[in-house]
Chains A and B, each alone.
Chain A
Amino acid sequence: MAVIRIQREDFNAAAEVAALTAGRTDIGAVVTFTGLCRAESGKLAALELEHYAGMAEEEIARVAAEAEARWPLQGVVAIHRYGKMAPGENIVLVVTASSHRVAAFEAAEFLMDYLKTRAPFWKKEHLVDGSSGDWVEAKDMDDRAMERWG
């Protein structure tokens, strides 16, 4: 059963891994992916993440269930933050645990590819000059990354 959390506050990747593996002797591989807010060459003061409360949890749970159906996973954690975050801050965490590394690596990549294109979150830029920037546009690259999973 995956751990899914949508939260304003920061997360601690090490603590999540520790919680996932505590008392377990069957896990041979843990992969963690952390997505951070970039400064975009210094022009960005913050990113504001809007989300569709309720659907965000449900959609990520659907994606996690799909990952659990495709790979032999012993644990999945997906945490996505919302609200305003400064460059350098964490945005998203995915942790996958399996007996062997291939499943953990692939499932983590699958989860991130699906999260980016299916989880109802939208990023708005706040610029260093105090102005409100644009909504970040979805990238074709992200759609193609998702499509490779069939």
Chain B
Amino acid sequence: MKAVYFAWVRERIGKTGEEISPPDNVKTVGELIGWLSAKGEEYAYAFEKPDVIRAALDRTHVKHDVAIAGAREVAFFPPMTGG
């Protein structure tokens, strides 16, 4: 699946997005955050406060307990500050 990052999540990870292949035991958005955090220092820094991180699956807001199965694109970003 494709992962995309925005705002300070993007800055900390150092890329706008990437193709990721989480193992089968990573079932939810929250578990995916945990799995990504272990990929390296920059990921650990971006996801150091997982509760703050907002997520979207295929461009729809989701909570961390939602299953990622079937999603083509996952996005991680801080709370939004538009308007």
- Residues of chain A at the chain B interface (Cβ within 8 Å): 35, 49-52, 54-55, 58-59, 80, 91-92, 112, 115-124, 135-138, 142
- Decide: B80 and A119 in contact? CB cutoff 8 A: yes
Interface check B81, CB cutoff 8 A: yes
Q: How many residues on chain B are close to A (CB under 8 Å)?
A: 17
Q: Which of B3-11, B28-36, B63-71 contacts A (4 or more CB under 8 A)?
A: B3-11
Residues in A whose Cβ lies below 8 Å from that of B7: 50, 122, 124, 135
How far apart are the CA atoms of A135 and B6 in the complex, in Å?
A: 11
Interface check B79, CB cutoff 8 A: yes
CB-CB nearest in chain B for A122: B7
Nearest chain A CB to B81's CB is how many angstroms away? 5
Interface check B15, CB cutoff 8 A: no
How far apart are the CA atoms of A112 and B7 in the complex, in Å?
A: 21
Nearest chain A CB to B23's CB is how many angstroms away? 27
Interface residues of B in 58-77 (CB under 8 A from A): 59-61, 75, 77
Known: A50-B7, A121-B80. 4 other contacts (CB 8 A): A51-B82, A55-B56, A118-B61, A121-B83
Residues in B whose Cβ lies below 8 Å from that of A54: 59
**3 shortest interchain CB distances as A-B pairs:** A121-B82, A138-B79, A116-B83
CB-CB nearest in chain A for B59: A55
CB-CB nearest in chain B for A142: B83
- Decide: A52 and B6 in contact? CB cutoff 8 A: yes
- Decide: B75 and A135 in contact? CB cutoff 8 A: no
- Decide: A115 and B83 in contact? CB cutoff 8 A: yes
Known contacts: A58-B59, A115-B83, A122-B6. The answer to whether A52 contacts B78 by CB under 8 A is no
CB-CB nearest in chain B for A35: B83
How far apart are the CA atoms of A80 and B8 in the complex, in Å?
A: 21
Residues in A whose Cβ lies below 8 Å from that of B60: 55, 58
How far apart are the CA atoms of A80 and B80 in the complex, in Å?
A: 13
CB-CB nearest in chain B for A115: B83
